[in-house]
Structure formats: C-alpha cells, structure tokens
Amino acid sequence: MDQLKIESSHDENGFHIIRLNGPFTIQELFEFQDLYRGTTDLVTLIDLTNVPYMDSAALGAIVTVHMTSQRHKRYYALIGVSERLRSLFNVVGVDGLLVTCLTIEEAQQKFPSKSAA
C-alpha cells in the first residue's frame, strides 16, 4: 500500500497549504496533526486532490481542523475532495459542516490574504 506524503508550503497570499498525496490513515495522523497544530496562519488550505482514501481516524483529524479553526477564528478549506471522500463526509454527516473548494484558486478568492488583513 502507498504511504501518505505530506508537503507544507505558503503561497503568495500567505496561505498555508498542506498537500496530502496517498491514503490518509492513522499511520500518518500524528504528522498531519503536528503540522496543523504548529501553524498560526490565518488561512490553511488542505489539498486532498491526491487522497484516494481516508480512514475514520483521519476523518476525525479533519473535523478537528474545523473545530480548531472555529475556536481560533481562522479559516480553512479542503481542496479537491474526491467523490469517494464526499460520500464518506455525507455518510458520517459532516458534509454540510466542512468547508470545501474545488481548487486552490477558488479558495484564494474566498478568504482574506495577509495583505488584506
């Protein structure tokens, strides 16, 4: 089975982008959580375009991103959510809760950049 690769960067707007490539499972959960918890950026975009599968532990981490963002008055978006992940979100009942965008460009238009803040 493929292992998840996690990349972290910032775009020209100062948005923190976390790119996940591969199945998102409990084995990589702590690396993801440490990366997200370590950020104080106003906007974090989590690119799931290349995530074919997510287990329940990973879903819990995504819901925690939502709750933490709400609590700290920050923004986040899940980018490129596949139909399989959308179905998971729907079955679990969090599809209306989670912020999703089709592309990073769509999210960049949706949230304030550092220069506008």
The pLDDT, as a whole number, for residue 4 is: 94
Phi, psi angle pair for 5, to nearest 5°: -110, 135
The pLDDT, as a whole number, for residue 117 is: 46
Please give the Cα distance from 20 to 8 (Å, whole number). Answer: 9
* Mean pLDDT over each residue of the chain, to the nearest integer: 92
Sheet with 16-21, edge to edge strand ranges: 5-10, 16-21, 43-50, 75-79, 100-101
Instruction: For the full predicted model, state whether its pTM sits above 0.75.
Output: yes
Alpha helices, DSSP H, located in 47-101: 56-71, 83-92
Spell out the domain ranges in the chain.
Answer: 5-110
Band of residue 116 on the pLDDT scale cut at 50, 70, 90: very low
Please give the Cα distance from 8 to 56 (Å, whole number). Answer: 23
Q: Which CATH superfamily is domain 5-110 in?
A: STAS domain (3.30.750.24)
